[in-house]
Chains A and B, each alone.
Chain A
Amino acid sequence: MRAPRSVLKQQFLKKWMMGLQVFGSAKQSMSILERKKAIKLSADIALAATRDGRTCWSRAIIADASKDDGGKVLVQHLLSPESERLKKACTGLVMDNKRVRCKKILKRSCCIKRIRKGASKVALAKSISKRIVKRRTQVLKSLVPGGEFMDDISLIEETLDYMVSLRAQVDVMRRSLAKATEVVNGK
């Protein structure tokens, strides 16, 4: 019996290798940067694929990857064994953007009034801290893929999940690097 975390890692590893094989068969010689991009792209898509479309960030990654051709091939390769509806779910993300923008305009118009009313020190400090929190939430939204479309609560949940998967990804990549360097050094 395996712990859930290593199950995740093994799934990720498998899918990553699958994705890399796509590249391996494609070109003979690639520059180092192209290789790096290929590795990273397949790693990201593999990571998103392990979530099976249940989390927003994974759908966002897949949606972004499907936009250009190279990614599309990978996506189809990695996801075709699984459901078709997953791919459709990923493409539907773009529509949420408009709704979010309208919300933002509304909020901003309300907020301006509130800030001016805060005369006391406490209220001032509160408004400052609120601004800081808001700014940092914005940054976090830009970090987490697909974060702009989420409200605060789901943003934090997505961040949680994303962090865990990132950690697994880093771990797997580091191990495979160690293995690869071992092999190279052994030769």
Chain B
Amino acid sequence: MINRALLPAGGGENMLHCTDMTVLERQRARIKWQQEQQQQQFQLQQQEISYFTELADVFHQAGFHEGGLSEVVTRSVKPDPGLVDNGWNNDHVVGYGVGLPYNNGLGFELNYGAISRTSSCPPEAVAAVAAATVKGSESVVSDKISSGAGRESSKKRKVDKIQNNSKVVAEEDTRDKRIKGCAEQGESKITEKNNNKNSRNNNTNKNNNSNKENSDETSKDNSKVSEVQKPDYIHVRARRGQATDSHSLAERVRREKISERMKYLQDLVPGCDKITGKAGMLDEIINYVQSLQRQVEFLSMKLAAANPRLDFNVDNLFAKEQAFPACSINFPTIGMSSDMTNPAYLQFNPAQQQLLACCGLDMGIDPPDMALKRTTSAPVSIPETFLDSSCFTQTHPPPTWDADLQNLYNVAFDQGRQTSFQTQPFTGSIEASNLKMEM
């Protein structure tokens, strides 16, 4: 694929050297990909069934049994106050109007529904597996799992993303797993510190809560996810060979917090899996937020043009309720990239004339609208969302789990080239959009 050669190694500056030709090529490739998307849905449906059976086998091999899984399920449905009490997480998790427990139960049900519709696996086993993935409760299951916990969580994440119908459950779960993953990492870090002989115990009194604290608590309670009190301060040990005064320790804690948050952002912002370092990440984030804000402006302008009297009928509400389950993750990113790569689209959409005076981005809106109509009129099908979420995962998996995810993909599909084909135009267009933004 052309785009693979043109993908910059990282950093926004590299993209400035790409020529317009490549942008055009990318656009054409993306159009082709969009068309092929439709064709491949059916193919993927077949593969999905085989994938699920394989995944079930994998989990069975790992030593799960039905009883253990059901235990996990019941425990996972219980609310997790440890994570909810965490100050920051509370804001975001509850802010979605639901919170973790709801999410878990929901994910469980969604997965159950999804699987029963498409696969021939015994629903209980796979649903239990799926629920286990949703919760990501490595700590709950036995010790033999904890060694391969990273691997497991990546698999679970994979299953998660495939099965979920809605973007937010995937995102929520990625973030939840991030939290769990970070809790895990934090725990391992702290145990590592404890093993160092040249370390001194420094207590820094702080009033904020952090993931490390929770990981301290949760690592102790390996048997169940229990309540976590909010301690008043964090125990921080100096690592071997590092300064031990409180200033540098505090600085290090702060830096780690920032990098943790940056990882979450990396999941959210498309096309950021290749970028390491604060500066590049910040750049991407800025571009993305700017593009989103511009989209809002543009859309509101278009809406103003479409409605001469600001009368939106209430049918919208009910239509949305049906349409939302079918909403795919592709839309925002496709729309964004098409908006930004407008000049290329001028060739493909010569028809549209309205609003050309007001905003030059007019043409860009049509392909996403078409895509929107195509998919909203299509029946709500799992392959579609599977496809979308698979594209999404291809571009946004966290860097640490890349290898595992890739392995899984290669296991699931006959050739990895299918998914990689989908990714390249995708990331290519996103890179192009960033390119446009910089220019």
Asked if B97 contacts A176 (CB within 8 A), the reply is no
Interface 1/0 per residue, B367-378 and A, CB below 8 Å? 011001100100
CB distance from B359 to the nearest CB of A (A): 10
Q: Does A73 sit within 8 A of B, measured CB to CB? A: no
| Category for how many chain A residues contact B | 35 or more
Given contacts A161-B91, A170-B299, A180-B307, whether A13 and B261 have CB atoms under 8 Å apart is no
- From B213-221, B235-243, B281-289, B397-405, the one touching the partner chain is B281-289
Q: Does B21 sit within 8 A of A, measured CB to CB? A: no
Which residues from 1 to 28 on chain A have a C-beta closer than 8 Å to any C-beta of chain B? 1-11, 13-14, 17, 20, 23-24
CB distance from A70 to the nearest CB of B (A): 14
Asked if A153 contacts B254 (CB within 8 A), the reply is yes
With contacts defined as CB atoms under 8 Å apart, how many contacts are there between chain A and chain B in the complex?
212
- A136 proximity list for chain B (CB < 8 A): 279, 282-283, 286
Interface 1/0 per residue, B259-279 and A, CB below 8 Å? 001101100110000000011
Which residues from 83 to 133 on chain A have a C-beta closer than 8 Å to any C-beta of chain B? 129, 132-133
- B166 proximity list for chain A (CB < 8 A): 3, 5-6
- B261 proximity list for chain A (CB < 8 A): 153, 156-157, 160
Q: Does A77 sit within 8 A of B, measured CB to CB? A: no
Given contacts A163-B269, A171-B327, A171-B332, whether A13 and B320 have CB atoms under 8 Å apart is yes
Asked if A129 contacts B262 (CB within 8 A), the reply is no
- B171 proximity list for chain A (CB < 8 A): 5, 164
Given contacts A4-B168, A173-B300, whether A17 and B317 have CB atoms under 8 Å apart is yes
Q: Does A79 sit within 8 A of B, measured CB to CB? A: no
- From B102-110, B119-127, B388-396, the one touching the partner chain is B102-110
Q: Does B439 sit within 8 A of A, measured CB to CB? A: no
- B169 proximity list for chain A (CB < 8 A): 3-5
Which residues from 274 to 325 on chain B have a C-beta closer than 8 Å to any C-beta of chain A? 278-279, 282-283, 285-286, 288-290, 292-293, 295-297, 299-307, 309-317, 319-321, 323-325
Q: Does A63 sit within 8 A of B, measured CB to CB? A: no
Q: Does B67 sit within 8 A of A, measured CB to CB? A: no
- A133 proximity list for chain B (CB < 8 A): 278-279, 282
Asked if A166 contacts B289 (CB within 8 A), the reply is yes
Q: Does B437 sit within 8 A of A, measured CB to CB? A: no
Asked if A167 contacts B106 (CB within 8 A), the reply is no
* Closest partner residue, chain B, to A152 (CB atom): B258
Could you list 19 A-B pairs, sorted by A, with CB under 8 Å? A1-B105, A6-B168, A8-B96, A11-B97, A13-B316, A38-B304, A54-B95, A133-B278, A133-B282, A140-B282, A152-B254, A156-B262, A161-B91, A163-B268, A170-B299, A171-B327, A175-B323, A177-B303, A181-B369
Q: What 4 A-B pairs have minimum CB-CB distances, sorted nearest first? A: A5-B168, A3-B166, A4-B96, A35-B304
Interface residues of B (CB under 8 A from A): 88, 91-92, 94-98, 102-103, 105-106, 109-110, 164-169, 171-172, 254, 257-258, 261-262, 264-265, 268-269, 278-279, 282-283, 285-286, 288-290, 292-293, 295-297, 299-307, 309-317, 319-321, 323-325, 327, 331-332, 335, 358, 365, 368-369, 372-373, 376
Interface residues of A (CB under 8 A from B): 1-11, 13-14, 17, 20, 23-24, 30, 32-33, 35-36, 38-40, 43-44, 50-52, 54-55, 129, 132-133, 136-137, 139-140, 143-144, 152-153, 156-157, 159-164, 166-167, 169-184
